[in-house]
């Protein structure tokens, strides 16, 4: 996939996304969003970056950057391991833990856990087996 198959605005958005990692920001950079609400920008940007040709171009641009800087997954992992060992040798436990966390995340060893918090108490309607309703505050 080359930049020739994208419109100039799509190419501009893809390049900006590779630079900043934010779909909405990349969309605003490439397109006129002056009359759009933020939620609309987010929605349209998400749809744009779901297109196969855009995703392919982003992967191509990222591969070019990785090649230019001689980056490989194995190389980055090796560097992280060396950094962790150095942090341990310097007595920086927090830095060593952070590197270990990055390595574990990369290897898919940690599941993301979401925590939902509620600021106010809301009535919760419970329906029992017999069909009777009971309102409780959660």
Per-residue confidence (pLDDT) for residue 102, from 0 to 100: 85
Residue 122 DSSP class = -
Decide which of 68, 96, 119 is a domain's last residue. 68
Query: For 90-112, how does the pLDDT look when each residue is reduced to its tens digit (9 = 90+)?
Result: 999 999 899 888 888 877 777 66
* Structural domain that includes position 29: 3-68
Tell me: do 61 and 18 sit in the same domain: yes
Residue 107 to residues 88, 98, 114, 133, Cα–Cα distance (Å): 21, 14, 20, 48
Q: Which segments within 13-129 are labelled E, that is strand? A: 123-127
Residue 25: which pLDDT band, with cuts at 50, 70 and 90? very high
The CATH number of residue 12's host domain is: 1.10.10
- Kindly state the average pLDDT of the residues 65-72: 81
For residue 101, the surrounding DSSP H or E stretch is helix 93-106
């Amino acid at each position: 996939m080359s930049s020739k198959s994208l419109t100039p605005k799509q190419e501009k958005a893809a390049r900006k996304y590779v630079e900043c990692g934010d779909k909405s920001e990349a969309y605003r950079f490439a397109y006129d969003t002056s009359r759009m609400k933020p939620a609309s920008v987010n929605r349209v940007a998400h749809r744009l970056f779901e297109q196969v040709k855009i995703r392919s171009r982003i992967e191509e641009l990222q591969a070019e950057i990785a090649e230019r800087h001689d980056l490989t997954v194995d190389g980055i992992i090796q560097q992280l391991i060396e950094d962790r060992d150095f942090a341990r040798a310097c007595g920086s436990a927090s830095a060593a833990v952070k590197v270990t966390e990055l390595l574990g995340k990369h290897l898919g060893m940690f599941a993301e856990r979401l925590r939902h918090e509620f600021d106010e108490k809301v009535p919760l309607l419970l329906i029992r087996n017999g069909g009777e309703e009971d309102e409780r505050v959660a």
